[in-house]
Structure formats: structure tokens, C-alpha cells
Amino acid sequence: MRLILARHGRTFKDTQKPVMIGVGQDMPLTDAGMQQARAFGQMLAARSIDPAAVYCSTLQRTREFARAAIEETKLRIKVQQTGVLNEIDYGLWCGKTDEEIIREFGSEPLRAWQEKSQWPQGAGWRPGEKELEILATEFAGHLVSQWPRETSVILVGSSGVLRYFLKLVPGEWGKRIKAKSFKINPGNYGEITHREGKWECLKWNEKPE
């Protein structure tokens, strides 16, 4: 099985100052974000990827991305929603710019999150790192048991939660933390495969071409 993990497209316009958004901020895609969704769909069509299933979170930015991408492929497949792919609740950081976070919490917690994926203390993030890892592992196991071995499944989510699927691959998390390459940028995707009981990461943070 191949899992294709796509991050939704842009939610801020060039004229807007980006802020931290989590599960509680249900923002739509911008026009640029919709273009990224279409580009992802065009990539799927060009590679003749016919997914067995498409899942997204319950947030509109992922729903819009998934539906626009599938429309681009001309495939008839229903996009299914799951809370497993919902973004982290960033607690006291939600709605704040990087500058505001630094003023309130200091520069080190923000740097640690951006460069090492380390959670800040006392910021009220939920549901918890271990729970996110368990949710990703159990959901991936469910997909492997539900769908035939040679199929592809698409998951559309957000940066904070998608990175935890790297934990499926032995050693991959540590390697990418060290290289600071664990994030997926807006509109980009990754691919991990399951063969003979083992997960392997083939691509990560790839731009649709």
C-alpha cells in the first residue's frame, strides 16, 4: 500500500500576516491554495494514480483541497472526513504571529518547534504527542487491513499532524528531525509505502510537478 500525504494549500494571502492556526481555526483556502490543490490533482492524473480512498480532516481547508484535487483528476471517488487528520490545537499560540509568540513565550520555544518539532511547555497544546503518534499508527494499520496491498490512499491534513506518520518508518523521525526536514509545506506531499510488513518513506515535502 502507498499512502500519499498532502498538506492543504495556502490559507493566507500575500497581504496578510500569517498566524498560528490549529484545529480551532477553520480557515478556507485562498485562491493560491486552490491552485495548489489543482496542481496536486494534476500530478495524480499525470501519474495515473487512482486511489482506493481519499481522506481529509474535518477542517474546510483540507476538504476544499481534497475535493478540488479529485475534481481535477476526473475520478469518481468520495472524499471521506476523519478527525484523525485534524490539526493540533495550539492552545495559547493560536492566532498569534511569530513575533507575538516570541514576546509572550520567548524565542527558544518557537525555535525548538520550528527546527526540532519540540512542543512548548505550558502553552496548552492538545491532544499530546504520544496520542498523535498512536492515532497515526492505528489509522495506518486500519488502512492496511481495509484496502488491497497494491492500492494508493490519499490523506489530506495539516503540517502539525502529518509529520507523525513519519513515526511509522523506523528511524525516519530521528533522521528528519536532525536534518530539519520533517515539515510538509502548503500544497506539497509525501509518500510512504507498506510492503511485507514494513513502512518506507519514498518522498517527503515534494512539490507537485
Q: Tens digit of pLDDT for each residue in 85-125?
A: 999 999 999 999 999 999 999 999 999 999 999 999 999 99
**Domains located in the chain, CATH noted:** 2-87+127-206 (3.40.50.1240), 90-125 (no CATH)
Task: Provide the grid cell at 66.
Answer: 481534497
pLDDT of the residue at 145: 96
Average pLDDT value for residue range 152-156: 98
C-alpha pair distances (Å), 24 with each of 117, 125, 151, 195: 20, 12, 33, 36
pTM (predicted TM-score): 0.97
With residue 192 as reference, give the H or E element that holds it.
Answer: strand 189-195
Average pLDDT value for residue range 54-62: 98
Q: Please enumerate in sequence order all residues whose Cβ is within 8 A of that of 137, keeping only pairs 6 or more positions apart, or say none.
A: 167, 168
Average pLDDT, the chain: 97
Is the per-residue pLDDT at 50 higher than 90? yes
Q: Sorting pLDDT into bands at 50, 70 and 90, what band is 53?
A: very high
Cα–Cα distance measured from residue 56 to residue 83, given in angstroms and rounded to the nearest whole number:
8
With residue 100 as reference, give the H or E element that holds it.
Answer: helix 98-105
Average pLDDT value for residue range 49-53: 96
Cα–Cα distance measured from residue 48 to residue 42, given in angstroms and rounded to the nearest whole number:
10
Is the per-residue pLDDT at 41 higher than 90? yes
C-alpha pair distances (Å), 38 with each of 94, 159, 188, 202: 28, 19, 12, 22
Task: Provide the grid cell at 26.
Answer: 477553520
Which one, of 60, 83, 57, lies nearest residue 154 by Cα? 57
pLDDT of the residue at 203: 97
Q: Sorting pLDDT into bands at 50, 70 and 90, what band is 209?
A: confident
Average pLDDT value for residue range 169-197: 97
